[in-house]
Structure 1
Amino acid sequence: IRIMEQACTGDSSLQVRPLKTKYPQGAERMLIYAVTGRKINSSLLPADAGCVVDNAETAAAVYRAVALGKPVTERIVTVTGEAVARPSNFLAPVGMDHQELLEAAGGLAKPAEKIVSGGLMMGFALFDLHVPVTKTTSGLVCLSADEVSRHRPTACINCGRCVAQCPEHLVPARLARFAQHGDEKNFLKYYGMECCECGCCSYVCPARRPLAQEIKSMRKMVLANRKKRQEGDKK
């Protein structure tokens, strides 16, 4: 932060705004509100609030594209987890096989019960490692059987922790129930599309219920249904 502040000294058009290290502070809507006080919902884009949100890697990629004429061909990827022999960071070419990445980290030190692409909070499970690294790939987490067994879901105890932790002030347990039953009407009624998929609800749930995953799946279903209706209207 100090180096950035020094670099911006003397330029009134630039300002460094340090923020608290608080998850999910890095989400677009959270950043916009924290920095500008402006609020947007799922139907709006950052541009509607007069903002463009880019992280450091995107900013560097823009520079390389504009100044050097170089497209995005590489991605920094973290390979980690209890099952990985040598957890490491790699500068991986886009298109590289995930299996090759894992082998570069020494392979598996023990059998992996679950392998997640991305982070544990917002990533998704992989059923096959023979998939390519893309420009959005950030990590590969290999979990052992012991780690996975600690997260077996049980019945909801209505403790309200998911509600207390939701940055969008939603009721995740209720939304997850609507998602389980495919109840799109009530899912939308209780603002399910405002979920930022941060995973906080699943993380704090003492019953280890996959709340975020269920809500995420329902959001995808809602968007797919909207697209079908729009295509039908065009016909």
Structure 2
Amino acid sequence: LTVDYRVMLEKGEQIVKAMRIVSKLFENAKIVFGIEDNKSDSIKVINGFIKPDDKMDICQLKTKYPQGGERSLIYAVTGRKINSHMLPADAKCIVINASTAYAIYNALYENLPLIHRYMTVSGEGVNNCNNFKVPIGMSQKDVIEAAGGLKPEVCKVIAGGPMTGSAMGNLDVPVQKTSSGIIAFTFDDVAAMNQSNCIHCGKCMSVCPSNLVPQMLCKAVKENDTDRFESLGGMECVQCGCCSYVCPAKIPLTGMFIMGKAEVKSKAKRNGGAK
């Protein structure tokens, strides 16, 4: 998805103006733009609008996934760590992405509410990949039509990014304020995978940004042991999809952890209701 990248390139002045106002809301606040090093052109754009007296800086980050996630970004920029029981404010941070910063500009300078969302429509199954300014509430099917429609051989459409997005069973769903993109595939890699037993190779553990042990969490989910899942730190999973991607056994680990987290929350709600 390239939407935030394009917003930085084309709305850099507005982003800096918005963050200049935000910085005044907090005493001794410092604004840090965390931008990966493969976006050098957007770094130049943002830097060009920062004034010498602004309490702003640019942190050029190494390009790697899932560094754009809230927890990973806070750690990469400040060295501070947060978990699922904490908010960024607990680390004395506020995380605002490029599109949100531009929405703040529109609210403060143009008196415009959030009625549009910038979205990326991409993938080999789309006739005209592009970024679009989309009214919130518009059908995602109509967004795809604006991109020239889908090719006949499309087999899967994802709402969101390729690693964290969700497969869409129906395109007649509205664009929301959190919608970021649509990706259409002509080949379903996941469906073509032949799942086998875990060989305990540890690859999933080596790529987990939360330092979890996915193979043990997987066993807990299979055994429906929510207490063990929680004690192993399952609620710290950020659902980045890295473990599923590297697993040689093709086990859908991330999907299992999403179910595990949902069961923990459901159990806590049931117990709370019983009290």
| TM score, norm. by length of structure 1 | 0.90
Residue aligning to 2:107? 65
**Matches of 1:4 and 1:146, distance apart in 2:** 38
Change (3 A) 1:28 1:229: same
**Matches of 1:149 and 1:124, distance apart in 2:** 14
Deviations 1:206-225 (A, max 9, x none): 22221111112221222233
| TM score, norm. by length of structure 2 | 0.78
Structure 1 residue corresponding to 2:265, chosen from 220, 223, 228:
223
Cα RMSD over matched residues?
1.9
Change (3 A) 1:193 1:146: closer
Residue aligning to 2:203? 161
Mapped pair 1:27 → 2:69: yes
- Is the deviation greater in 60-69 or in 105-114? 105-114
Mapped pair 1:80 → 2:119: no
Shift, 1:183, TM fit: 1.5
**SS of aligned partner of 2:261:** helix
Deviations 1:163-209 (A, max 9, x none): 11111111112212322332111101110011111111111112222
Q: Is the 8 A contact 2:99 2:118 kept in 1?
A: no
Shift, 1:147, TM fit: 4.0
Shift, 1:48, TM fit: 0.6
Mapped pair 1:47 → 2:105: no
Change (3 A) 1:179 1:2: same
Structure 1 residue corresponding to 2:173, chosen from 124, 127, 131:
131
Change (3 A) 1:117 1:165: same
**Matches of 2:270 and 2:173, distance apart in 1:** 28
1:66-215 to 2 correspondence within 5 Å?
66-145=108-187, 147-215=189-257
Q: Is the 8 A contact 1:76 1:138 kept in 2?
A: yes
**Matches of 2:160 and 2:270, distance apart in 1:** 29
**SS of aligned partner of 2:183:** strand
Shift, 1:152, TM fit: 4.2
Report the count of equivalent residues: 233
Deviations 1:66-113 (A, max 9, x none): 222211111122222222232232211111112112222222212332
Change (3 A) 1:231 1:166: same
**SS of aligned partner of 2:76:** helix
- Is the deviation greater in 48-57 or in 111-120? 111-120
Percent identity between matched residues is: 44
**Matches of 1:145 and 1:35, distance apart in 2:** 37
**Matches of 2:271 and 2:109, distance apart in 1:** 42
